[in-house]
Structure 1
Amino acid sequence: MKPIDLMYQTMLAELVQRSIDAAWTADFPPEGRFITAQVKDKRYWYIDIPDGKGSKSRRYVGPVDDLEISKRVLDFKRDKNDYRARRRMVTSLTREGGMIAPDTLTGDIVDALAAGGLFRLRGVLIGTVAFQTYAGILGVRLPIAALLTGDADVAQDYAISREVEDSLPPILDLLQSVDPTFRPVPHRSGVAASSAFQTDSGYRVEFLTSNRGSDDYIDQPSRMPALGGASADPLRFLDFLIRDPIRTVMLHKSGVPVNVPAPERYAVHKLIVASRRRTDGQGTLKRDKDIQQSALLIEALSQARRHADLALVYTEAWERGPAWQEAIKAGSGLMTDEDRERLRDCLETGGRQIGEDITLPY
């Protein structure tokens, strides 16, 4: 597995911090342009915002003689220069640094959700879209075949959604701002709630939440107060995946700050869910991709000398009981001999580092 040059890893760390800072301070979109206009005997600031289709909208800002507003305009010019610099950094990281940019549609969707407040409200990007960010986090080049996707999955803990007392704007409005053909997908249970939204071309955005209770809840979507009218499908083992997520940046436009699972949790989680996939058609393909992504992350974690990180989360999962242990055993049984040996070596090394006698799955 080819490493990413340290210079680009350092650049990514700087981009993450600058993108997070920009997300906190931006009141006006950086692609906009401030202008002044005379109205009767007074001058006012306005901002022209392109809509991406050759037109633009104009938004009122305030009077020119308001010193606070004029200061904001000057700050905007500074921030816009930073926006341009961040775009150049994204281009350099993807074209030269070996890191991964999402396809444009995925990037625009995640950008719209981020702007709406999804990650501020502690949503977590999961699935292959999250996996794409691990190249930069772990400092390795990941194969393209493991990165392709036609959907985006988002998770939020139910307790968080209930307790934050805030919400995204209407989720369908956010999605349709990117593609007007987005529509709610009727839930398989027949209830009047949607946890998934899909375009005419088949691109799917799905919302998920953790299920620690009875299996009776598996086919019943949970109403999520913070998700702008979207419900979420409860899934077993998801609480393990989204515990203690990390902040990083999706390499789209000037960088989109996102929350993703820790890569070691993703690796162990994929072993677990692979063992529970259906063995027909798409189920087999998804199972194979689960195992491939898990094996790649284990190799990358080993290469990055993060054996202890993997050993800690593996032990956490193993100690959750027999059902978890059986799932881990079944998932690791689907790996190649070489990948199983690498998992063994990584866990044994990590066990020595954390002072634990690791129980291996085989």
Structure 2
Amino acid sequence: MIRDDDRTPGFGVYVHWPFCAAKCPYCDFNSHVRHRPVDEQRFLDAFAREMATMRSRTGPREVTSIFLGGGTPSLMKPETVSGVLDAVARNWTVPGGIEVTLEANPSSVEAERFRGYRAAGVNRVSLGVQALNDKDLRFLGRLHDVESALHAIRLARETFPRLSFDLIYARPGQTLEAWEAELEQAIGYAVDHLSLYQLTIEEGTPFHALHAAGKFAIPEPEHAADLYRATQEVTAAHGLPAYEISNHARPGAESRHNLVYWRYGEYVGVGPGAHGRFVEGGRRIVTFTEKNPEKWAGLVEDHGHGVTGGEILTRSEEADEFLLMGLRLAEGIDLARYEQLSGRPLSSRRIATLQEEDLVAPVGNSRLRATSTGMIVLDAVVADLAR
């Protein structure tokens, strides 16, 4: 049973499996295609060793959530997943029933593997569906079709207590009516959680070059904003309100791991290209690791970790990050915690101005949230408050 949410920021462990069967043209995550079988034992050993090094830096901690992301973690054998979770438990305290999420692509889903992941301790799966029509799935470079996506959803619902899946909207030529119909269809399949992202053109991706060359167009900002508003309205009407800009859940089914990020908790990042943020010696530090999988594994074998950089955050930087992450949430931010981090309260004058513009709203006497209008221009709201 997933433990009740007490709104504490928490401590998460993120493990990055960097391999994919194919690279999607919109993706700027650290993912790699290998045409020979991956040496899973080598990477499992490296994960475990890097965790031990991180444990020496964090000290004893109780884990709030574990997330296996990528890449495509569902390409791992269940035995590898089991080994990863065992390594987490060897290094930190893992209470029974915490959220353990594994990302999966419908093209790599098999019933036997799903049963193996469940037996290993995974209790939540996040499926990268991305679209519910075959034309757009081909455009997005996905290896699955709608039929295989629905098969994966059915298997996940039968196997795991909790299921989420992702969709991308604001796709080329997508009308408001088409997106609303697709969203209604998705809600009919989802158990308790949907992640709904606007298509963005990231520098360095194939889509960036194609878009720059005029090969396709994405919706204008005004139409994208209409799609966003429709997303909020349809999901709320069906009992999956937004608890964060892009994430929707039935009450109590929010992603505990992502709440660690948005509530500005601490987390360890393990694996190629993983980032971490945790308190060491009384200061919040940032770590990031070598992105190339084989180079990362070599570094771990030689030095006990693949960390290639990091920084110690100033109080001002911590406060800015807290604002940026926390105002993404419908619950908003704790004003006293902001003052604790920054050493000063938020400007009451700026808050009043943003309230007049219907961009922020108080939550009782102790919290502040962005309104639905403010969410659309959140970067500007955060920049104004942080001045």
Task: Calculate the TM-score normalised by the size of structure 1.
Answer: 0.33
Task: Calculate the TM-score normalised by the size of structure 2.
Answer: 0.31
Structure with bigger RCO (C-alpha 8 Å, 6+ apart) = 2
